[in-house]
């Protein structure tokens, strides 16, 4: 069995951003040489997420509106008493998830229709990473 690891780095300019990282993950899978296996894509920061869904602008706006209604940035969070202002970002990450696992078949991501991998940033403005770990044959 092969194992391959690579980190993807992001430095978003806005506080919240949704980035389609499918092409980067596909490149890592190709680089790994794995034809049959799994790829784990994991946000390595507690205020960011990785998730799978459709790359459609209306849906991305819907996520933004839904998360802000559910977990507003301007609310009172105990975490913010530590001097931070990102209590909402931690909770948004819990809702959207930490990682995804995708099957690799014939050397390619084995997706359903419209599926894409996204990096969601909820406390941007600094450099953060995503782990891509490929295992298989």
What residues does each domain of the chain span? Answer: 2-136
> Is the CB of residue 23 less than 8 Å from the CB of residue 103?
no
Which pLDDT does position 79 carry in this prediction? 97
**Residue 53, class by beta-carbon neighbours within 10 Å (0-12 exposed, 13-18 middle, 19+ buried)?**
middle
For domain 2-136, the CATH superfamily is YjbQ-like (2.60.120.460)
Global pTM reads 0.95
| pLDDT tens readout for residues 83-121 | 999 999 999 999 999 999 999 999 999 999 999 999 999
């Amino acid at each position: 069995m092969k194992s391959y690891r690579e980190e993807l780095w992001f430095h978003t300019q806005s506080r919240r951003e949704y980035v389609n990282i499918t092409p980067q993950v596909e490149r890592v899978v190709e680089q790994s040489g794995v034809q049959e296996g799994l790829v784990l894509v994991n946000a390595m920061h507690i205020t960011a997420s990785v998730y799978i869904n459709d790359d459609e602008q209306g849906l991305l706006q819907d996520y933004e509106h839904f998360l802000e209604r559910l977990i507003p940035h301007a609310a009172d969070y105990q975490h913010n008493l530590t001097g931070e202002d990102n209590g909402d970002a931690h909770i948004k990450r819990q809702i959207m998830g930490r990682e995804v696992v995708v099957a690799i078949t014939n050397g390619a991501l084995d997706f359903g229709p419209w599926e894409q991998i996204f990096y969601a940033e909820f406390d941007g403005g600094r450099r953060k990473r995503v782990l891509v770990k490929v295992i298989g044959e």
